[in-house]
Structure 1
Amino acid sequence: MELQLWGKEPPRPQSYYPLSRSRPSFFSRLLFSWVGEILNIGKKSKVSIDDCYELPEDESTENEKLTFYLSRHKLFKALFLANLKVVISAVLLGNVIALLDFSSPFFMKLLMAYLNTSDKPLSWGIYLAIIFSTITMLNPILTGKYEWIKLQIERRVRTSLSNIVYCKILKATSIPSGLGVNIIQVDVKKIDQSFRNFSNLISCPIQGFFSIFLIYMQVGDAVYAAIGVLTVCFTMNYFINKKVRKCSEQLMKIRDQRIDASSQMLTNIKMVKAYVWENFFKNNVDNIRKKELKELRFIMILSSVWIFFFWAIPSITVASVFLYYTLVMNMPLTSEKAFVSLATVTILQESLQDLPWLAAQLMGCLVSIKRIQGFLDIPDLESLPSSECIEIKNCTFAYKDKAVLHDINLNIKNGEFLAVIGPVGCGKSSLLASIMGELNILKGNICVTSEIAYAPSLDSWIQNDTLRNNILFGKPYVEKWYLKVIEACCLIQDINSLLNKDFTEIGERGINLSGGQKARICLARAVYADKDVYLLDDPLSSVDTFVAEHIMNKCFLKLLAKKTRVLVTHRLNILNKVDKIIVLENGKISKESSPEAFKISENLIVSQEPQIEEISSSQPKLIQDEEKETGKVDWKVIMDYFKFSGGFAALTLSLLMMLLYTIAKMSGDIILKQWSDNPDDIRFYLPIYLSLRVGGNIFIFFRAFFILAVLGINASRYIHTKLIEVFVRAPVNLFYDVTPIGRLLNRLSKDLNAIDEMVSKSLSSITNKAFQISSMVIMAAIYFPVISIALPVLFYLSLKIQRLYLGASRELTRLEAISMSPILNHFTETLSGLKIIRTFKQTENFHRKNSKLVDNNIRLLYSIAACKCWLMTNMELLSSSLLCLLYIAVIIFRDDVSLGMVGLALTYVGPLPLYVAYVVVDLSLNENTMISVERARQYMSIIQENPEELPTDKNLQNWPELPTIEFKEVKMKYRPSTQMILKGVNFYIEAGKRIGIVGRTGSGKSTIYLCLLRIVELFSGSILIDGVNIANIGLHKLRSAITLVPQDPLVFNGNFENNLDPCHTKSQKQIKNTLEEVNLSRYPIDYQIKENGSNLSAGERQLLSLGRAMLANTKIILFDEATAGIDQDSDMKIQELIKNRFERCTILTIAHRLGTVMESDLIIVMQDGIAAEIGSPQELLSKNSIFKDLSNKII
């Protein structure tokens, strides 16, 4: 058969042309005005990645500095050395800015001294105002540059860490998927954020030291009271830090478990629904989440205590200093000393209030570094010595620490065709893995050629790409060779049946392909690679005999005639065509001989009956693009967040606590003014001041507690619970078939982590700054009303700047969030296909693709950072101009104000510009963090399946009493835009009958069980079981009455007991008996099965699935070629077991091997979506029928 018509290749994405970045002028770089281009785009239209700036060379994944230093140092030190220049720049500039902050109390001292004397002219005061205004305007320019350097550190750390983590994945022996996802999504972010703020961690203590020094200059020995308070607080902080770090380590371990469990559930969702295990998996994830939230709540409570201490430190410090100064030293408290000390302590507060957050961030960073270091310490696979052939001398191979192959001696010559046979679980696939270098060598020597290709069957690995690209697998397209390969692998008919031919997009994990089609695409990929050695892991088990004969003759014996071939097979009728045969039993080679000398033993005979393979025709565009909201975050998102938190009670209480704190603080400062104006009334003012400033801090703890440990935790709990609920209830065909699992894991990892930790902290920061600004404005209006005239202008211009910033920023933030999904998809795809990627030596190509995806993400971060620095620089310049006006106003109106009023005005108005700037930044960042809530909320309203339970289910207690099945004009299509698969199927099955369903490619036979289980709902028609229309039955009731034994069984982490009976409805005795019946009694019921059953053979996984059916004890059984990967001795026993155990059951066998249905009571032959023939095997074989034609195609 010739290929009829090649599909049209989808248009390639055009090369993006980033915004022009000709070298900006000095002032443009200083004020970040070069960002205006992208801001204007955001103002007028949607920003796309094409509008983003190109990355500098030292910020791309091509930068190998970290890799270089990692070869000599541990991760923490290597990160510092790789970014040493920019880290030092940030530390130096941060400390310069920190020292400039102290010009404020110094200027206040000079100004108050000037106002207190009348011998200095007005010009002296104006000079003071000009000098300090210059310093004030310089500060935001330096701050903008400082922030840019910090964001540069963040990007570089993220890029380099993403690069080394992915490189490690390509080389490591074994990586749990949950650990890998959390490292990429959570740990890397924790580390890059901590490194970004490392300079703050240095400058905060330095500011604290200078604050103490300046206080000493004002009040002398009274500073020791401050030192004592700080010593006590920092000691307590040390123990809190220690506890937080321990809790953070535990929290990350639990998160790994949750992502593992979630990934396992979502990846196998079709089988989870078929087995009615939704509640089991959901409860499993929810229970892990409860543990996670318990740890998180405790951390948030500790954070609240932390916040209390560091907010209380300035108040307690000032109170203790004034108490010591007035009572112990017996000195009068003047306005100059009071307000200069207060201004200094305010700076101390600004530095210390960030310390809890910075310290918590550092603790999280150290935990994440420890986790990544442990990840990097996982042993790499050892490369095998190169040889012209395969030579194994007395080798014992192990999976992790468990030996699976013993004393293997094997020599395979160039061009030799070797067959490997043996019973289930004997180590056939492990032998191939050992040749590929995927197993550890405990003893012995092995030499292998470096040019190996590998073709799996039941564990087929398919990329989310076009069919052609799956075959090419990074190799250049050579048409002549490509056509030979697809013809030899019997793919031409399959390609012709697809709408867009070989440019048809294949869904994630090959979800729109049959098992046989996936196996042949994997085989074609191996053949196209044109290697020296071919390791073939039973590729003929998933195809019918006609296709198997074609592949054997055209591919193995002709196209690969000069290659070395190692074929694992259960088809003993082909052994006369190989050069050598080895038999494996119990992990050892029990026999090695030529085909002529080989004698087939009873327990090795396999079925030679023809198989009939099912594939599906797919649409060219299967995976839908990820949705992205546009414009500002809807207020409904914010309101919903508060609803998710349990209403507005927690928010109201936290606002009330903040209001009470603000009132206490303002009242205390007013008392201080009165006290400084009347220093002799110490006994009246001191106790009032102490009670207001010290006692008011208790409200800070409750504010933090209500926002972090109540509001935030409640919202996180609700969002996760709702997401898991909707994911479990989403339909397979309308949601999972078109949505990559990486997108869902992105919501459950990165977005949920932001909701857990960032949203509530952002709200806490905003409420804090909003109340402080309010208090500053009120105090300014009361004590210096002239300056309040400029405040509306300040707020108006601030709003204009924020709106311009948000237009671009929110779109860039959404794009950045979306850009993580392809990274995660590529990451999980790599984890599942490591064996093939390494064997085909495609690690460089996959690394290159990962680098491109990461660079796209970093490009977006680069543009976000540029916009943020523009915002901060311009906001602080605007706010600083207000402070300059205040200085001038104080000089001009010096005769109309008291020293206490000036001190109070400077104390409150002085920090106002900074707070206005940062509240705008916080509002913008909060909107950006709310995007995570928005993205989670998108999936809360996805389409859901029909109800799991219906009121009428109670009338079906003993249903089905007679398991009859009737199809009436059944029509079905997978999605509205796809073609009809079943086109009017009609048949009736009597109770207790054994039915074989057969048919050629694309006939629709595998769709039958999807309809019976209502995995896909009918387009029209009806299906009746025991006379009841299944459309009128709850999904759980229906699926509980049917047991599916699939070709690709679901095996998850846990022991045999949990895998066979996860709902724990059976006794251990029943489970042990079942294991014995399915020939798995060699395993104890508590034997731990690894992820995806990786420590079981393909045949053992199928036997485990059969054991589930025996324990389920339902009256309708669906077999989807459940014994395709096992030897004939086991197959014969199982067929006898099925016959006896399911004697009174209605059995439907979707057959790929005709031998499994020859003893059926009835055969249904599917063709072109209809039941073309129905009759007994003997009846159909006695006449010229489709079934007879299929049965005649035997090798």
Structure 2
Amino acid sequence: MELQPLNQPEPIPYAYFSTPHKAPSVFSRAYFTWVKPVLLIGKKAEASIDDAYPLPDSISIEKENLTYFLERYKLFWALILSNWKLLLFSMFIGNLSSLFNFSAPLFIKVLISYLQSDDKPIMTGIFIIIAFLVVAGLDQSVKGWHIFNDKVIEIKVKNSLCNVIYAKVLKAAKLPEGLGVNILEIDTAKICWGFFKLSLIIASPLQMMVSIYLIHLQVGEATYSAIVSLILCIGIGYLASENIKKYSESIMTLKDKRLEASSQLIANIKMIKAYTWEKFFKNTIRNIRISELSHLKKFHLLNAALSFIFSATPCITAAVVFVYFTQVMGESLTPEKTFVTLTTLIVLQESLHQFPCLITDLTLCIVSIRRVQKFLDINDLKEIPKGDKINLDNCSFGYGDKILLKNVNLEIKPGEFIAVIGPVGSGKSSFLNSLIGELELLSGNAEVSRKIAYSPSLESWLQNDSLRNNILFGEPYNEKWYFQVLEACSLMQDINSFPNKDLTEIGERGINLSGGQKARICLARAAYADKEIYLLDDPLSSVDTFIANHIMKKCFLSLLSNKTRIMVTHNLSTLKEVDRVIVLENGKISQISKPELLEIPRDLIETHEPEIQPLSSPTSKLIENEEKFSGKIDKQLYFDYFKFSGGFSMLILSILCMAIWVITRISGDIILKEWSNDSKETSLYLVLYLSLSFGGELFIFLKTMFLYYFLAIRASENIHRSLVNKLLKAPVNLFYDVTPSGRIINRLSKDIASIDEKVPYCFAWVISSLFRVICGIIMIMIYFPLLLVLLPALIWVYFKLKNIYLAAARELTRLEAISRSPILNHFSETLSGGKIIRIFQKSEKFHKKNADLLDINGRLLYSLASIEGWLDVVLGLLGSFFIFILLIAIIILRNEIPIGIVGLTLAYAFTLPANIEYFVFDVAESENSIISVERIKQYMAIPYELPKNLPIDEHLRYWPENPSIEFRKVYMKYRLNTPIILKDLSFKIKAGNRVGFVGRTGSGKSSIFLALLRIVELEKGLITIGNVDISQIGLKKLRSAITLVPQDPLVFSGSLKENLDPPGVRSEQEIKIALDTVNLSAFSIDHQLQSNGSNLSAGEKQLLSIGRAMLAHTKIILFDEATAGIDYNTDLYIQNLIRKKFDSCTILTIAHRLGTVLENDVIIVMQEGIVAEMGAPKELLSRDSLFRRMKDRVN
């Protein structure tokens, strides 16, 4: 959707709009006071994109330099070099932040030394406090900027990757089968997250080295035992990372397969419902999902084990160090040595806690980099040398080693009108693709003018935009030329019938237009471009003869008379109008001749019959804007998530595990304090400390297992299954016709990925940080109960700041999620229309639109990054204030407090504000992640079709024995805001009759088929089949009794057997007989078909569709202009098949060739949603009927 503001935003000072992070004052820059305008978003009734900061020039797509470095380096190094300044700064402040972490053990050392001195001068204490304030202030600014800068890196990397991936789609020679939005959504996200963590590669080892050095200052050679522990820990981590890499690669491959199957489901949902194949596609997606979740389980198990290892290492290391120090070295523990070492190990633990995530994220990053690199390594299209005319000298074209056209010798002069003919699979479309440059020139010499326009027929590509914009296609509006083109392409009558004339919105993939209208709009787009060469791929196959004659005369022979025109055609009657004819057979030119001297192959001889147009009923507004939630997150979403996970048992067990951990942690550290004061009972303290430390970490592992391995997997499985079920039950007209596919795919890709991985991790983080806060509060309560007076106020301020942040973050996150859908729509649109975009030389225009969409998304991410930096700074400063008060209390009571208590309290006090900060961040992050559940839950409330099965179905086992059909006073419209299409429609069809429907565009022919199949439910009226009201029958029973043979057959990626019989109810022998009958026996039943049947010709796809109808064994067959766009010989073969194989069936046909209609028992002439005439062909032709006038006009 277009992200337009619903309310006029409050003006933001210009200073904030121009590179806002470069605020005028140093203080404002350092402490993020410049983010105030964005924080106010949370107070708005309706936030919009205008409330977000503009992107600084340095990270906008306009300044993207990844493309430059990719010309010289592989992706990883190109990303490093294109972001080296940001990465260098990130590593600098990351390491600085790591060093600041050691201020805690150093301050504890200084303070304990101060308290152990005899005089304890007050000024020294004040100096310690002042030093702490200075260090804390610098520390928080550095930490905030570290977070902000890493987020900026993430934005720049993401946008750069999306930009180069999109550019590759526009120029790739052959896109891989199954390429979908995963590479744009999931892979780029994983690479970004890896680069976000890149600074930790240096910061974490540095933190380890400093920790070891500080521990060495306290316990000497006992440090070596710590080094051994760390080496073992890192070694295990490396081994685990190899397995994580293996599983993550499998998960991404399975995600690709699932998204490909889901995309096929969404793109072909109307046909899938008509064939009642929902169960097959549901099972296909479910089986892929089961495999995906199986690998995800192992992935989570490895992560849980890895987290346990790195979490337990500091505790085990502390125990080993203290044992070595006391037992081997024979030294006694003192409070200073104990608590400086303990605090240093806590800092080390924070570093080690990041290691599992770091290893996982970097592993996933590497996997995704390899996937994207593999895509970027695809060869680009090679342009054919430019020339003033078309000249092919002994040329062969194809893909790689596959030759599609051989030894082509041809010269076409400017202004010539050339026809290209040939049987099915002879290479006609390949011939046009070779001139366009879509096929690789394998040998020979060629030159072709680049000023080419192209008009497809059956595979028409249109944008979700107004009809006018589809024709202009980015060209300036010239009113005179525009109306000349509309007239020449016979579009004026159609446009005048549309609600908003040429400003009427065309649905995604042209869903609200007939095949003929789509073909004529594509032709108008080509004509308006005013190029030198016109490549016309059977442009007249989808229009009736009257319109075909009009287009031939007004467009090809008049408007474009001085252009070079090359037209593929099956209509031999048009050959008399062309200058020369090219005959193709088996990928070779067999003849080039003037029409009058042409020897036409026998299998191409035909008498072209008049054709009639199908239905369309566009409305002025089709695609609905995506709904944006506002305000606080509904707490019910959390309950819904846990219900999907099977209840609250795993959550309760996780909380119990953390409660036990708190007890073991506090008890262990108290024992350590006592040990430092009593060196006599070393063995007892050692056993107790080891048992409690290791036991506590074991409960952390159990908590992680409960959340990741059980709760998360169940929730992921159930949420995805529920979403797919809802999508399968959603009605075509009320949901799919008004919802862009990219919006649906966004839920199935990014939102499901978030639920799989991010949501459970966020819950785990929230629980962990909460109990770490509880642990700190209990310890302080034990020894410094007076500080608890301050703690409620501190927590209140924390949550007040959190709420300010969350209010803004929620709105920005929702807007960001909405802003992704146009990016995905644009990407999907480009995937299907890349050829058209390249031919019309609109790559730059589409690339610019993609850049604009990415910048909009980047603005929202940038604003989110800025308020995250602010939150980190203010929460850190608040925590420092708490420690400041504690230090004052210690200085005041310096002569009364035991040193052991001071050391232990400070060890917890220094981590408590950070843990509260982590908790606030984790709560905020969990709220942001739960928005994915909110977005999916939104689709749980979409409209749904009536039941698939009803009790009456059991009593209709052999229905319809008598396949008669009756419409009684039927009224139908597509949606509430659309006009009535069928008006008081009544007619009867006898069982076994063959009925042809004819009529102008918009007369209601295709709507009759949709009403019969209940793809669209009636407003009122009654339809009966075999004297049974179809509204009382389950949808599955009804649709299983009818077979639809459409103009553009559904072909999905899979075997030929799966395509013919997805439910798997027919034997291999039956399938082989069907293949033989429809003349497709050259293919084995295991022959793999590509999505949309891209490796089949139009005729082969139609024969496949007839084969399905034969295997279905239904008594009612619907032919929706099923032979449009195929050659006469194949059409004749299909008509003979219909007569022989369906002779006892009731057959309804939307007319394509008038000769076919004349052979029917009954003809129904539709006009404005009613039956204008009905009768036998001879009877209608014997009088002055509408049908006779129609036939006379086309003759």
Counterpart of 1:1100 in structure 2 is 1100
- What is the CA–CA distance in structure 2 between the aligned matches of 1:11 and 1:118, rounded to whole Å? 70
What's the secondary structure of 2:895's corresponding residue?
A: helix
Q: Tell me, which stretches of 5 or more residues in structure 2 are unaligned?
A: 16-22
What's the secondary structure of 1:198's corresponding residue?
A: coil
Q: 1:399 to 1:1017 in 2, by over 3 A?
A: farther
Counterpart of 2:688 in structure 1 is 688
**Would the aligned equivalents of 2:611 and 2:1152 in 1 still touch at CA under 8 Å?**
yes
Question: C-alpha offsets along residues 86-128 of structure 1, whole Å, 9 cap, x if unaligned?
Answer: 1111101111111111121111111111111223412112211
Counterpart of 1:1075 in structure 2 is 1075
**Deviation (angstroms), 1:1127:** 1.8
Query: Superposition pairs for residues 745-824 of structure 1, below 5 Å?
Result: 745-824=745-824
- What is the CA–CA distance in structure 2 between the aligned matches of 1:1018 and 1:607, rounded to whole Å? 40
Q: Which amino acid aligns with 1:20?
A: P
**Would the aligned equivalents of 1:274 and 1:1015 in 2 still touch at CA under 8 Å?**
yes
Q: Which amino acid aligns with 1:965?
A: I
What's the secondary structure of 1:134's corresponding residue?
A: helix
Query: Superposition pairs for residues 56-455 of structure 1, below 5 Å?
Result: 56-176=56-176, 178-399=178-399, 401-455=401-455
Query: Superposition pairs for residues 936-975 of structure 1, below 5 Å?
Result: 936-975=936-975
Q: Which amino acid aligns with 1:856?
A: I
- What is the CA–CA distance in structure 2 between the aligned matches of 1:478 and 1:615, rounded to whole Å? 30
Query: Superposition pairs for residues 858-897 of structure 1, below 5 Å?
Result: 858-897=858-897
**Deviation (angstroms), 1:1085:** 2.3
- What is the CA–CA distance in structure 1 between the aligned matches of 2:162 and 2:10, rounded to whole Å? 25
Instruction: Kindly indicate whether residue 732 of structure 2 is the aligned counterpart of residue 732 of structure 1.
Output: yes
**Deviation (angstroms), 1:465:** 0.4
Q: Which amino acid aligns with 1:635?
A: K
- What is the CA–CA distance in structure 2 between the aligned matches of 1:572 and 1:426, rounded to whole Å? 16
- What is the CA–CA distance in structure 2 between the aligned matches of 1:128 and 1:746, rounded to whole Å? 54
**Deviation (angstroms), 1:997:** 0.8
Q: Which amino acid aligns with 2:1188?
A: K
**Deviation (angstroms), 1:1083:** 2.3
**Deviation (angstroms), 1:1087:** 2.0
Moved over 6 A (4+): 9-18
- The worse-fitting range, judged by mean Cα deviation, of 517-526 and 105-114 is 105-114
**Would the aligned equivalents of 2:998 and 2:1151 in 1 still touch at CA under 8 Å?**
yes
Question: C-alpha offsets along residues 524-557 of structure 1, whole Å, 9 cap, x if unaligned?
Answer: 0000001111010011010011100000000000
- What is the CA–CA distance in structure 2 between the aligned matches of 1:730 and 1:413, rounded to whole Å? 54
Q: 1:1149 to 1:573 in 2, by over 3 A?
A: same
Instruction: Kindly indicate whether residue 3 of structure 2 is the aligned counterpart of residue 19 of structure 1.
Output: no
Counterpart of 1:558 in structure 2 is 558
Counterpart of 1:533 in structure 2 is 533
Q: 1:988 to 1:934 in 2, by over 3 A?
A: same
Question: C-alpha offsets along residues 623-654 of structure 1, whole Å, 9 cap, x if unaligned?
Answer: 00001111111001111011111101111111
Q: 1:705 to 1:607 in 2, by over 3 A?
A: farther
**Would the aligned equivalents of 1:610 and 1:1190 in 2 still touch at CA under 8 Å?**
no
Counterpart of 1:628 in structure 2 is 628
- What is the CA–CA distance in structure 2 between the aligned matches of 1:646 and 1:174, rounded to whole Å? 45
**Deviation (angstroms), 1:319:** 0.5
**Deviation (angstroms), 1:291:** 0.8
**Deviation (angstroms), 1:673:** 1.2
**Deviation (angstroms), 1:331:** 1.0
- What is the CA–CA distance in structure 2 between the aligned matches of 1:544 and 1:1133, rounded to whole Å? 21
**Deviation (angstroms), 1:1079:** 2.5
**Deviation (angstroms), 1:258:** 0.6
Query: Superposition pairs for residues 341-740 of structure 1, below 5 Å?
Result: 341-399=341-399, 401-740=401-740
**Deviation (angstroms), 1:12:** 13
- What is the CA–CA distance in structure 1 between the aligned matches of 2:895 and 2:988, rounded to whole Å? 104
Q: 1:754 to 1:565 in 2, by over 3 A?
A: same
Q: Which amino acid aligns with 1:150?
A: D
Counterpart of 2:1046 in structure 1 is 1046
Question: C-alpha offsets along residues 1098-1151 of structure 1, whole Å, 9 cap, x if unaligned?
Answer: 222122111111111110000011112222222222211110100100000111
Counterpart of 1:4 in structure 2 is none
Q: 1:12 to 1:1162 in 2, by over 3 A?
A: farther
- What is the CA–CA distance in structure 2 between the aligned matches of 1:407 and 1:1074, rounded to whole Å? 36
- The worse-fitting range, judged by mean Cα deviation, of 1002-1011 and 1119-1128 is 1119-1128
- What is the CA–CA distance in structure 1 between the aligned matches of 2:210 and 2:916, rounded to whole Å? 25
**Would the aligned equivalents of 1:784 and 1:901 in 2 still touch at CA under 8 Å?**
no
Q: CA RMSD in A?
A: 1.6
Question: C-alpha offsets along residues 399-424 of structure 1, whole Å, 9 cap, x if unaligned?
Answer: 45432222222221111101111112
Question: C-alpha offsets along residues 201-231 of structure 1, whole Å, 9 cap, x if unaligned?
Answer: 3211110111111111101111111111112
Q: Which amino acid aligns with 2:531?
A: K
- What is the CA–CA distance in structure 2 between the aligned matches of 1:551 and 1:253, rounded to whole Å? 48
What's the secondary structure of 1:628's corresponding residue?
A: coil
- The worse-fitting range, judged by mean Cα deviation, of 1057-1066 and 173-182 is 173-182
Q: Which amino acid aligns with 2:1179?
A: E
Instruction: Kindly indicate whether residue 1185 of structure 2 is the aligned counterpart of residue 1185 of structure 1.
Output: yes
Q: Which amino acid aligns with 2:271?
A: M
**Would the aligned equivalents of 2:780 and 2:909 in 1 still touch at CA under 8 Å?**
yes
- What is the CA–CA distance in structure 1 between the aligned matches of 2:1079 and 2:658, rounded to whole Å? 68
Question: C-alpha offsets along residues 854-882 of structure 1, whole Å, 9 cap, x if unaligned?
Answer: 11000111111111111111111111111
- What is the CA–CA distance in structure 2 between the aligned matches of 1:919 and 1:10, rounded to whole Å? 33
**Deviation (angstroms), 1:11:** 11
**Would the aligned equivalents of 2:237 and 2:359 in 1 still touch at CA under 8 Å?**
no
- What is the CA–CA distance in structure 1 between the aligned matches of 2:87 and 2:1163, rounded to whole Å? 74
**Deviation (angstroms), 1:848:** 0.6
Q: 1:200 to 1:1065 in 2, by over 3 A?
A: same
**Would the aligned equivalents of 1:429 and 1:1097 in 2 still touch at CA under 8 Å?**
no
**Deviation (angstroms), 1:1094:** 1.1
Q: Which amino acid aligns with 1:486?
A: L
- What is the CA–CA distance in structure 2 between the aligned matches of 1:793 and 1:626, rounded to whole Å? 41
**Deviation (angstroms), 1:990:** 0.8
**Would the aligned equivalents of 1:201 and 1:355 in 2 still touch at CA under 8 Å?**
no
Counterpart of 1:829 in structure 2 is 829
Q: 1:928 to 1:1034 in 2, by over 3 A?
A: same
- What is the CA–CA distance in structure 2 between the aligned matches of 1:171 and 1:919, rounded to whole Å? 47
**Deviation (angstroms), 1:177:** 7.0
**Deviation (angstroms), 1:10:** 15
**Deviation (angstroms), 1:463:** 0.3
**Deviation (angstroms), 1:133:** 2.4
**Would the aligned equivalents of 1:604 and 1:1127 in 2 still touch at CA under 8 Å?**
yes
What's the secondary structure of 1:149's corresponding residue?
A: helix
- What is the CA–CA distance in structure 2 between the aligned matches of 1:506 and 1:355, rounded to whole Å? 51
Q: Tell me, which stretches of 5 or more residues in structure 1 are unaligned?
A: 1-8
Counterpart of 1:3 in structure 2 is none
**Deviation (angstroms), 1:65:** 1.4
What's the secondary structure of 1:42's corresponding residue?
A: helix
Q: Which amino acid aligns with 2:13?
A: S
Counterpart of 1:1155 in structure 2 is 1155
**Would the aligned equivalents of 2:173 and 2:438 in 1 still touch at CA under 8 Å?**
yes
Q: Which amino acid aligns with 1:203?
A: A
What's the secondary structure of 2:410's corresponding residue?
A: strand
- What is the CA–CA distance in structure 2 between the aligned matches of 1:1031 and 1:900, rounded to whole Å? 82
- What is the CA–CA distance in structure 1 between the aligned matches of 2:1137 and 2:617, rounded to whole Å? 36
**Would the aligned equivalents of 1:387 and 1:448 in 2 still touch at CA under 8 Å?**
yes
Identical-residue share of aligned pairs (%):
54
- The worse-fitting range, judged by mean Cα deviation, of 1063-1072 and 507-516 is 1063-1072
Counterpart of 2:1113 in structure 1 is 1113
What's the secondary structure of 2:932's corresponding residue?
A: helix
